[in-house]
Amino acid sequence: MGKTEKRERWLLVLAGFLLSGVNVGINTNCNTAFLNPVCEDLGLGISSFAMTTSIVSFVSIPCLLLLPVLLKKISVRKLLILSGSGFILFKILFGCASGLWQFYVCAVGIGIFAPGFGYLTVNSVINRKFRENNGLAVGIASSGAGIVGAIVLPIVTWTISAFGWRMGYYLEAALALVFIVIAIFCIKENGTTETTEERSVKKRKLCGTDVTAYLLLLIGLFLICLVGMGIQPYLMAYMQQMDYTTAFAAGIVSAVLAVNTAAKIISGYVFDRVGSRRTIWITTGTMACSLLILLLFGKGSWIAYAFVIVFAFAYVALSIPAPFLTKEMFGAEYFTELYSIVMIVTSVGGAVGNVLTGLLYEASNSYLFVWECYILLTAIAAAAMLGAFSVKNKRMGKNESSDCR
Which pLDDT tens digit goes with each residue over 127-153?
Answer: 776 666 667 788 788 778 777 877 888
Residues 22 and 148 sit within 8 Å (Cβ to Cβ): yes
Task: Give the mean pLDDT of 212-232.
Answer: 91
H or E element, residue 287: helix 246-294
pLDDT band for 403, please (50, 70, 90 cuts): very low
pLDDT recorded at residue 286: 92
Phi, psi of 74 (to 5 degrees): -125, 165
* pLDDT tens digit sequence for 99-128: 889 999 999 999 999 988 887 888 777 777
pLDDT band for 405, please (50, 70, 90 cuts): very low
* pLDDT tens digit sequence for 70-88: 887 888 888 899 999 999 9
pLDDT recorded at residue 131: 63
Residues 121 and 229 sit within 8 Å (Cβ to Cβ): no
Q: How far apart are the first and last CA of the chain?
A: 31
Q: How far is CA 135 from CA 141, 163, 187, 218, 263, in A?
A: 10, 41, 20, 19, 12
Mapped onto helix, strand or coil, the DSSP state of residue 258 is helix
Q: What share of the chain has pLDDT > 70, as a percent?
A: 89
pLDDT recorded at residue 233: 81
CA separation for the pair 314, 260 (Å, rounded): 9
CA separation for the pair 110, 91 (Å, rounded): 8
H or E element, residue 88: helix 76-96
* pLDDT tens digit sequence for 330-341: 877 777 778 888
Phi, psi of 288 (to 5 degrees): -65, -40
CA separation for the pair 126, 177 (Å, rounded): 22
List the one residue out of 56, 59, 4, 70 whose CA is nearest residue 27: 56
pLDDT band for 89, please (50, 70, 90 cuts): very high
Q: What is the mean pLDDT of the chain?
A: 83
Residues 144 and 17 sit within 8 Å (Cβ to Cβ): yes
Residues 187 and 76 sit within 8 Å (Cβ to Cβ): yes
pLDDT recorded at residue 1: 55
* pLDDT tens digit sequence for 233-286: 888 888 888 878 878 888 888 788 778 778 888 888 888 888 888 999 999 999
